[in-house]
Structure 1
Amino acid sequence: MEFRQLNAFITIAKLSNFTKAAFELGYSQSAITAQIQQLEKELGVNLFERLGKNISLTSEGEKFLVYAKKIIKLCDEAKSTLITSDVVKGTLTIGANESLCAVRLPPILKELHERYPEIEIILKMEGNNKCKTLIRENQIDVAFIIGQKINASELITELEFPEPLVLLATPGHPLTSKKHVYPEDIADCNIIVSEKGCGYRNLFEQSLNDAGVTPKSIMEMGSIQSIKQLTMSGLGITLLPKIAAAEELKRKELIELNWWEDSFYLATQMVYHRDKWGSRALRAFIDLSKEMMNS
């Protein structure tokens, strides 16, 4: 098994095309085909399903792709440890949910680029559970997660602070006139939520379940922007991180409802795997994040 074969395999999987992969890697198509054939022969499985001009990974190929990426990444890390230079460089892959990608991370990434222009940043917008999986599979270096405190023994929490959530409605919604909103007030409402597994959706639904309340209907949307747009149109109410609706609240396009008890809170946490190799790029990002978010 050779690194060029693994690179060829990963590139074909990414592009779903042998010809495009050969062009990107600077090989002839026959050369890249031969590399994959040799790799498949060594592994004793077919990595790709070839139906005419359509290329897709087999189930074995899907499994092997995870390991191939790990091998290449570890090789790059090994090379980095042998390079002595005052310049902090390398590739940093960061995972975060939509709210943090849109609001919390941009100032940090801007400052990181200004201080360390040689660091290449890859940002993956994923939910909490997906980020944890990618950390365990070594496909991302570090993640920002909004949710309950993480107690997984294999994950290190480097930074943690409260993240307030707000119950939102459009101006003129009947609930905006109430001094306090109780769970039973929501029984006749539509609620607009993010996809299952989201920390603030879980918190909202758990609060209603504890009170024995079932909302009129639940609308599930794939993005926070869609949730805000539907809420502003008057189709329902929603619970979101306050940072995600800061501009709409400022412009009074959304109104914060007064929940009857203590405000909803989760925590924003920066986490990475306990066995993660601490590259200079990763350490620089962690230190900068703590500096900016604790200031």
Structure 2
Amino acid sequence: MELSQLAMFKAVVDQGSIVRASELLHCVPSNITNRIKILENELGVSLFIRKGRGLVVSPSGRLFLSYANKILSLCQESQRALDPAAAPSGDLRIGAIESSATGRLPKLLSKYHCLYPSVQMQFSTGEWSQLLKDVVDYKLDGAIVAVGVEHADIESAEIYKEELVLIASPIAGTIREPQDLRGFDIFMWPEGCPYRKTLVNWLDHHKVSSSIISIASYGTILGCVSSGAGVSLVPRGVFEQFRLIGGICGQVFSDLLPVQNYFIWNRHVEFHRAKDKFAELLKEEFKDI
């Protein structure tokens, strides 16, 4: 078994076809086909289910992929460890919850690229539970979440506290206290979102009952709120972005406490200069929040 075979196998899985994998790896498709067949013969299992010209990862292939990811990640780590003084380079896979990606990270990502142009950033968004799983499975090098994570494979660092702002259209009238929300529809991300949980606890504390409508898009939430259809509770960073568009106003409540955001990474990856520099920049850029 060779590392190049593992890289080809992973590329086929990630790209969904041998042709696209060959373009990514700059080799002919037949080379990948032959190397994967040799790998399957060595393992004694089929890694793919062949349907016509297409490929579907087999159950054995899914199991083997988790090991291939770990082996390739450890290989990259060993290369980085041999040259600890070198400038960060190579791939950096970062994930974030949508609120952080929308409200906090655009300028930071641009600055990181300017500081470390040799790093190839791959950025994605998702729910915190999926981001956690991807970090544990070595699919992400790090992620920003708004939940304190206790997991045997995870290290974390506090990066900033996100103040929460109630947003509404000016036509909705004045909202100065929780009781003013009675009768309003409240648009929030689906259950599992830590900001939604904070809202629910706050409403329960003040004995206020309101209809919460799940929408997994800040853009759609903004459209609903600005039209006067209801209100929403959003992080300060998102509110600052929305306010530039117009059509909304914000209200802060002293007993709605800020929500801590964290940067998480896999504790078993000890050397990753690109990730470490990203974590340092996070702390520096958000030290006053």
Name the structure 1 match of 2:189. Answer: 194
> Gaps spanning 5+ residues in structure 1: where?
none
Q: Deviations over 1:179-216 (max 9, x none)?
A: 3232xx54522221113321112222333455565534
Superposition TM-score, scaled by structure 2 size = 0.87
Q: How far off is 1:244 after superposition? A: 0.3
Find the aligned partners of 2:202 and 2:45 in 1 and give their Cα distance. 49
Contact 1:180 1:257 in 2 (8 A): no
Map 1:44-55 onto structure 2 (within 5 A).
Answer: 44-55=44-55
Structure 2 letter corresponding to 1:52? G
Q: Deviations over 1:239-280 (max 9, x none)?
A: 110110214335652122465x61242112222233321322
Find the aligned partners of 1:227 and 1:140 in 2 and give their Cα distance. 28
Name the structure 2 match of 1:265. Answer: 258
Find the aligned partners of 1:3 and 1:171 in 2 and give their Cα distance. 60
- Percent identity over paired residues: 27
Map 1:232-251 onto structure 2 (within 5 A).
Answer: 232-249=226-243
Find the aligned partners of 2:181 and 2:64 in 1 and give their Cα distance. 48
Q: Answer yes or no: is 1:283 the counterpart of 2:282.
A: no
Residues 16/275 of structure 1: CA separation in 2 closer, same or farther (3 Å cut): closer
Contact 2:93 2:142 in 1 (8 A): yes
Map 1:4-43 onto structure 2 (within 5 A).
Answer: 4-43=4-43
The alignment partner of 2:55 has SS state of: strand
Find the aligned partners of 1:138 and 1:15 in 2 and give their Cα distance. 17
Contact 2:159 2:286 in 1 (8 A): no
Map 1:36-185 onto structure 2 (within 5 A).
Answer: 36-83=36-83, 86-147=86-147, 149-152=148-151, 154-173=153-172, 176-182=173-179, 185=180
The alignment partner of 2:73 has SS state of: helix
Find the aligned partners of 1:243 and 1:45 in 2 and give their Cα distance. 50
Q: How far off is 1:153 after superposition? A: 5.3
Name the structure 1 match of 2:221. Answer: 227
Contact 1:192 1:220 in 2 (8 A): yes
After TM superposition, the structure 1 stretch with the greater mean CA deviation from structure 2, 161-170 or 100-109, is: 100-109
Superposition TM-score, scaled by structure 1 size = 0.86
Residues 195/62 of structure 1: CA separation in 2 closer, same or farther (3 Å cut): farther
Contact 1:10 1:68 in 2 (8 A): yes
After TM superposition, the structure 1 stretch with the greater mean CA deviation from structure 2, 56-65 or 204-213, is: 204-213
Q: How far off is 1:96 after superposition? A: 0.9
Contact 2:74 2:269 in 1 (8 A): no
Find the aligned partners of 1:86 and 1:29 in 2 and give their Cα distance. 34
Residues 48/212 of structure 1: CA separation in 2 closer, same or farther (3 Å cut): farther
Find the aligned partners of 1:280 and 1:154 in 2 and give their Cα distance. 19
Residues 187/122 of structure 1: CA separation in 2 closer, same or farther (3 Å cut): same
Find the aligned partners of 2:242 and 2:112 in 1 and give their Cα distance. 28
Q: How far off is 1:163 after superposition? A: 0.8
